[in-house]
């Protein structure tokens, strides 16, 4: 359905229609953005996230509920740990930033913790930017921004992000702080969890860089972030500086490659809606009208993974076998195509993938023959 050329309001209206009447938008967070950036070829995820569709509700309505989300107990424990880390005006948190990232600076005996309250995400983003500017200009002092709000343009729509904290150093540089509830055991943590935290922090760094670029003083956004976790099995904070340069570069490249949400919306049939209130058949048709790019990695990053995996298997798509296998198979996109090529029924013999499949099929036949003798 063609969109009116006036962007902004028209796009927001179209995205609200896709979400369904009276369905509130689910805000994109850094975790979702990092996952989106990890699968930039998936138009389905891009439009659902862009429209603020709650994918967990959608997956349940499709009959393939996700296994995502933290338990209430884990959330409460995480919140209690964060409150402890930030107690006394963030004294312990700032001590850790000083110790791990900026030992040359004066220790943070006195630090400002400005009030960032404002109405709505736009108001909070503006307030954060104002405080960042003021703190940067007031050189020689430490400032802790507790739950600031940042905006990042994602495929033509703004996403509002809320890091746990941002610290402004006395030299005016900025550090992202991530507070997680998984433990640091003997100084190291689960690499998968640290990697996920680093990807999330990379999204915050990109958003902060957009703010920094608007300021006259062009402050430096540090590419080493502070990860704070409980030490061993206690509730005491321990911290580690994490270099996120690689994650930042990958995320920036992937986000830039995302198809514009506006363009995907234009391709959808008129009346498409993803409201979980719709009958199952209608909802399935709406979801299937947007191309997906399923890969096994989706299982750990997207709420729709079980639904997309079933569809991908039904279609015999080789992507369900994993990206490395997909890459090896060149232009062969279904299991049926692969088997036909291996049997010599289809495919160009000069294609390296086809040649390798035929060689493998011949070796297998030989081995089977030898085993039967
Ligand atoms: S699970 Fe489906 S919607 Fe989600 S990223 Fe994978 S293919 Fe896209």
CA–CA distance from 229 to each of 96, 107, 111, 175, 334 (Å)? Answer: 11, 21, 22, 17, 44
Predicted local confidence at residue 6, as pLDDT: 55
Centre of ligand 1 to C-alpha 57, Å, is 15
Query: 251 C-alpha to center of ligand 1: Å?
Result: 17
Q: Which residues pair with 146 in a beta bridge?
A: 165
Ligand 1 pocket member 59 (CB < 6 A): no
Pocket flag, ligand 1, residue 47 (CB < 6 Å): no
- Whether residue 36 has its Cβ less than 6 Å from ligand 1: no
| Atom number, ligand 1, closest to the C-alpha of residue 292 | 7
Structure tokens at 54: 């709650």
Task: Provide the residue-wise pLDDT of the chain in tens; the chain has 373 residues.
Answer: 444 445 567 777 888 999 998 898 887 788 888 888 778 789 999 899 888 899 999 999 999 998 766 678 888 888 999 999 999 999 999 999 999 999 999 999 889 999 999 999 999 999 999 999 999 998 789 999 999 999 998 766 778 999 999 999 999 999 999 999 999 888 789 988 898 899 999 999 999 999 999 999 999 999 999 999 999 878 899 999 999 999 999 889 888 877 678 889 989 998 999 999 999 999 999 999 999 999 998 988 899 999 999 999 999 998 888 888 888 888 898 999 999 999 999 988 899 999 999 999 999 999 999 988 8
pLDDT at position 8 is: 63
The total of other beta-carbon atoms located within 10 Å of residue 371's CB is 7
Nearest-CA residue for ligand 1 atom 7 is: 294
Measured in degrees and rounded to the nearest 5, phi and psi for residue 7 equal: -75, -170
Tokens of 77: 């424990």
Tokens of 62: 């499709």
Atom of ligand 1 nearest to the CA of 302: 4
Our mutation pick for probing the ligand 1 site, out of 48, 259, 292, 317, counting the most ligand atoms within 8 A of Cβ, is: 292
Using one digit for the tens of pLDDT, what is the confidence trace for 293-317? 999 989 888 999 999 999 999 999 9
Q: Where in the chain is the domain with CATH 3.90.320?
A: 72-255
Buried b (16+ CB within 10 A) or exposed e, 299-334: eebbbbbbbbbebbeeeebbbbbeeeebeebeebee
Give the list of residues 6+ apart from residue 26 with CB closer than 8 angstroms, or none: 52, 53, 54, 55
Fold adopted by 72-255 = Lambda Exonuclease; Chain A (3.90.320)
Å from CA of 196 to ligand 1 middle: 18
Name which of 181, 172, 173, 115 is nearest 149 in CA terms: 115
User: End-to-end alpha-carbon separation of the chain, Å?
Assistant: 64
CA–CA distance, 83 with 80 (Å, rounded to integer): 5
CA distance 147 to 341: 56
Q: How far is the CA of 108 from the centre of ligand 1 (A)?
A: 45
Ligand 1 center to 161 CA (angstroms): 22
d(CA 248, ligand 1 centre) in Å: 22
| pLDDT of the residue at 3 | 44
Q: Which atom of ligand 1 is nearest to the CA of 295?
A: 6
Which residue's alpha carbon is at the smallest distance from atom 2 of ligand 1?
Answer: 308
Q: What's the half-sphere exposure (Cβ side, CA atoms, 13 Å) at 20? A: 18
Residue 2: the pLDDT is 45
């Amino acid at each position: 359905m063609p969109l009116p050329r006036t962007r902004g309001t028209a796009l927001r209206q179209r995205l609200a229609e896709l979400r369904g009447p009276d369905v509130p938008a689910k805000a994109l967070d850094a975790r979702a953005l990092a996952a989106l950036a990890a699968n930039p070829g998936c138009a389905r995820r891009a439009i659902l996230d862009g429209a603020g569709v709650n994918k967990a509700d959608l997956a349940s309505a499709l009959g393939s509920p996700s296994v995502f989300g933290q338990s209430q107990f884990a959330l409460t424990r995480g919140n209690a740990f964060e409150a402890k880390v930030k107690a006394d005006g963030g004294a312990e948190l700032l001590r850790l930033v000083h110790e791990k990232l900026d030992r040359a600076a004066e220790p943070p005996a006195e630090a400002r913790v400005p009030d960032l309250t404002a109405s709505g995400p736009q108001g909070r983003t503006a307030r954060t930017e104002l405080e960042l500017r003021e703190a940067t200009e007031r050189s020689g002092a430490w400032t802790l921004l507790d739950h600031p709000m940042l905006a990042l343009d994602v495929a033509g729509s703004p996403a509002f992000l809320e890091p746990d904290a941002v610290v402004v150093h006395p030299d005016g540089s900025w550090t992202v702080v991530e507070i997680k509830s998984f433990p640091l055991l003997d100084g190291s943590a689960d690499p998968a969890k640290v990697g996920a935290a680093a990807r999330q922090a990379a999204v915050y760094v990109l958003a902060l860089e957009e703010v920094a670029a608007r300021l006259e003083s062009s402050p430096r956004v540090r590419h080493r972030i502070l990860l704070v976790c409980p030490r061993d099995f206690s509730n005491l904070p321990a911290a580690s500086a994490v270099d996120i340069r690689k994650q930042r570069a990958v995320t920036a490249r992937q986000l830039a490659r995302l198809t514009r949400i506006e363009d995907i919306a234009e391709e959808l049939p008129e009346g498409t809606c993803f409201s979980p209130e719709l009958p199952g058949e209608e909802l399935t048709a709406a979801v299937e009208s947007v191309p997906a790019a399923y890969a096994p990695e989706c299982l750990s990053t997207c709420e729709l993974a079980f639904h997309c995996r079933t569809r991908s298997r039904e279609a015999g798509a080789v992507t369900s076998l994993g990206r490395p296998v997909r890459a090896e198979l060149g232009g062969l996109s279904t299991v049926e195509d692969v088997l036909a090529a291996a049997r010599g029924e289809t495919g160009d013999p000069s294609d390296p993938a086809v040649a390798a499949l035929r060689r493998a099929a011949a070796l297998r036949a030989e081995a089977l023959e030898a085993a039967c003798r």
